[in-house]
Amino acid sequence: MYERKSDKLAPRKIFYQRLWKNATVSFFILAFCLAVGVVGYKFSIKEFDWYDSLLNASMILSGMGPVIDSKIVLTNTAKVFASVYALFSGVMFITIIGILIAPIAHRFFHKLHLEDDK
């Protein structure tokens, strides 16, 4: 997928294609994770409508924290889902950032290695 250390630096067109491909993959992963959260919140907390579920899932996925009214009593199932989804979201957030910066980091380090060889 990426050039080796001994290869020339890829042209900018290839670099931009890699960025676009990784951004697209990241978007679909993010959409899947958000869908899991929305459905999970909708069916684990009966008081939530689809909008409340979307709000909570997106806030957890972005790392901001849940938006749950203190009047709502959570069942054990809802607590377990929220805990697992929070852990899942943290790992997926880091994964998505890694996918997004992979082409940039590769190009940066490849360029450094090319300069070392000269």
CATH architecture group of domain 12-117: Orthogonal Bundle (1.10)
pTM: 0.82
d(CA 15, CA 11): 6
**64-97 residue pLDDT tens:** 888 877 778 888 999 999 999 999 999 999 999 9
Distance of CA 18 to the CA centre of its chain: 17
pLDDT digits (tens, 9 = 90+) for 24-39: 999 999 999 999 999 9
Most distant CA pair in the chain, distance: 66
> Where along the chain do its domains lie?
12-117
The listed range with the strongest mean pLDDT (8-22, 26-40, 67-81, 98-112) is 26-40
